[in-house]
Amino acid sequence: MSKARSLGFSPERLARIDGFLRDTYVGPGRMPCAQFLLLRGGEIAHQTVLGFQDVERQVPLAEDNVFRIYSMTKPLTSVAFMMLVEEGKAALDDPVSRYIPAWEGLGVFQAGSEGGWTTSAPARPMLIADLLRHTSGLTYGFQERTSLDAAYRRLRTDDIHRGLTLPELITALSDLPLEFSPGEAWNYSVSTDVLGYVIEQVAGRPFQDVLADRILRPLGMTETGFSVREDQRARFTACYQATATGGLKLVDDPTTSPFLGEPRLYSGGGGLVSTAGDYMRFCRMLLNGGELEGARILAPRTLALMTANHLPGGGDLTQMSRSLFSESTNAGVGFGLGFATVFDPVKALSASSVGEFYWGGMASTAFWVDSAQDLAAVFMTQLLPSSAYPVRRQLRSLTYAALIDPS
């Protein structure tokens, strides 16, 4: 009996994943590479490794390649903060101004532009919970939706290597209004970067050190960090942008990438690089209720709180979102404290489980954790933007179609 079959999968159906990724994306040159790692019952059920880590130099992808995971950094930052909550050092209903006093008077945008904002008072203060669930009223410059987004772009708030430092970002945002009153809507934003700054204030240490000491080292995530080490450079992938004709345009050469050096801003929202195997260790911890190989990161009840839907009124992202872009757009999907979470698979038109949680990154990377099926998956590639192709949804369909012995 194959390992896949003993874990409840059809090996023949799992093999469809490789063929689909090869024939639909990697072979035709729509995607440079694809690595898919599937775990069930604590064991690897399937792994796909296709394509090139560097198309121009024709370097094949390997199991241990290093990827920019961008917004897949957000769940790690959220977990780091919740560890402080567990220790009584902070609370979800703390006002953000407790840690950033200059934000106490932030108003809500009504009209105008830089140098002449018209604002109104928010209905309530911004809470730490708003940062975790993206209901803070903050935004991202790349949304390109409002004059506030334009102000974020001018400040280069999304450029972690050539833009502002973390303290400079906090200072710059103190001069800008909010998109909406906290808790009123959901908007993908720099909220998790701000959460990294709050972690620094609570812990009294640099955010990057807290993340390393509290999560990366205890979980044995030796390949994950805010820059590519010298010993990782030969395994660092190139990053591409999808073209209008279905091809690839190189946007970050791995031999000259800014990720080869330390960033100016240690971004809790999108700064990490990692490997599929390393990120799966983080997923295994989540799947195990907050513990991995004797390292207890979170209590099970804390993780249950994080993966519940925290959107006001129990709404989903299609009802609450004002974003033109996010890593999720599904009906039946809410948002917790650092993760999207499925609460209605029927509305989501997905074979996923109630309580499944997930997120992804700007270069089309993704992960999901399905505790009901004792299953976790990690997908790695390097293709901008993440909305170029529906590969994440397709991988879910292929995975659950291969699960012939569900829990």
Residue of 114 and 216 predicted with greater confidence: 216
- The pLDDT value given to residue 228: 98
pLDDT digits (tens, 9 = 90+) for 265-280: 999 999 999 999 999 9
Q: How far is CA 108 from CA 3, 215, 326, in A?
A: 55, 35, 22
Q: How confident is the model at residue 1 (pLDDT cuts 50, 70, 90)?
A: very low
Helix (H) or strand (E) holding 21: helix 11-21
Q: In what order do the strands lie in the sheet with 33-40?
A: 59-60, 43-54, 33-40, 375-380, 366-370, 357-360, 340-342, 333-335
- What does the alpha-carbon distance between residue 237 and residue 260 come to, in Å, rounded to a whole number? 12
- The pLDDT value given to residue 2: 79
- The pLDDT value given to residue 371: 97
Q: Kindly list the structural domains of the chain, giving each domain's residue range(s) and its CATH number in brackets, ordered by start.
A: 92-203 (1.20.58.710)
pLDDT digits (tens, 9 = 90+) for 35-65: 999 999 999 999 999 999 999 999 999 999 9
- What does the alpha-carbon distance between residue 340 and residue 360 come to, in Å, rounded to a whole number? 10
**Which residues have CB under 8 Å from 291's CB, separation 6+?**
285, 297
- The pLDDT value given to residue 75: 98
Q: How confident is the model at residue 116 (pLDDT cuts 50, 70, 90)?
A: confident
Q: Where are the alpha helices (DSSP H) in 259-355?
A: 276-287, 300-306, 317-320, 345-348
- What does the alpha-carbon distance between residue 353 and residue 362 come to, in Å, rounded to a whole number? 25
352, two tokens: 């996923």
pLDDT digits (tens, 9 = 90+) for 144-188: 788 898 999 999 998 999 999 999 999 999 999 999 999 999 999
Q: What are phi and psi of 189, to 5 degrees?
A: -160, 180
Among candidates 318, 79, 383, 321, which has minimal Cα distance to 185? 321
- Our CA dihedral for 345, 43, 359, 72, rounded to 10 degrees, sits at 180
Answer whether 0.95 is exceeded by the pTM.
yes
- What does the alpha-carbon distance between residue 361 and residue 359 come to, in Å, rounded to a whole number? 7
Residue listed under structure tokens 């080292």: 217
* Pairing label, strands 383-384, 239-242: parallel
- What does the alpha-carbon distance between residue 240 and residue 384 come to, in Å, rounded to a whole number? 6
Looking at residue 94, what DSSP letter applies?
S
In whole angstroms, what separates CA 168 from the centre of its chain?
A: 23
Taking 50 as the threshold, does the pLDDT of residue 364 lie above it? yes
The answer to whether the beta carbons of residues 194 and 173 sit under 8 Å apart is yes
Taking 50 as the threshold, does the pLDDT of residue 137 lie above it? yes
Average pLDDT over residues 319-345: 87
Q: How confident is the model at residue 101 (pLDDT cuts 50, 70, 90)?
A: very high
Range list of β-strands (E), 191-243: 239-242
Q: How confident is the model at residue 122 (pLDDT cuts 50, 70, 90)?
A: very high
- The pLDDT value given to residue 333: 95
- What does the alpha-carbon distance between residue 130 and residue 194 come to, in Å, rounded to a whole number? 11
The per-type count for the chain, helices as H runs and strands as E runs, is: 13, 17
Mean residue pLDDT of the chain comes to 95
- What does the alpha-carbon distance between residue 16 and residue 19 come to, in Å, rounded to a whole number? 5
Indicate the SS3 state at residue 401: helix
- The pLDDT value given to residue 325: 64
Q: How confident is the model at residue 132 (pLDDT cuts 50, 70, 90)?
A: very high
- From first CA to last CA, the distance across the chain in angstroms is 19
- The pLDDT value given to residue 115: 76
Taking 90 as the threshold, does the pLDDT of residue 141 lie above it? no
pLDDT digits (tens, 9 = 90+) for 182-194: 999 999 999 999 9
Q: Among 18-32, 323-337, 391-405, which is the least confidently predicted range?
A: 323-337
- The pLDDT value given to residue 279: 99
Taking the CA atoms of the chain, what radius of gyration do you get in angstroms?
20
Residue listed under structure tokens 């089309």: 364
In whole angstroms, what separates CA 113 from the centre of its chain?
A: 30
With a pLDDT cut of 70, the percent of the chain lying above it is: 98
The answer to whether the beta carbons of residues 340 and 320 sit under 8 Å apart is no
- What does the alpha-carbon distance between residue 267 and residue 120 come to, in Å, rounded to a whole number? 30
Cis-peptide into 95, omega within 30 deg: no
With a pLDDT cut of 90, the percent of the chain lying above it is: 91
- The pLDDT value given to residue 328: 64
Q: How confident is the model at residue 329 (pLDDT cuts 50, 70, 90)?
A: low
Taking 80 as the threshold, does the pLDDT of residue 326 lie above it? no
pLDDT digits (tens, 9 = 90+) for 220-271: 999 999 999 999 999 999 999 999 999 999 999 999 999 999 999 999 999 9
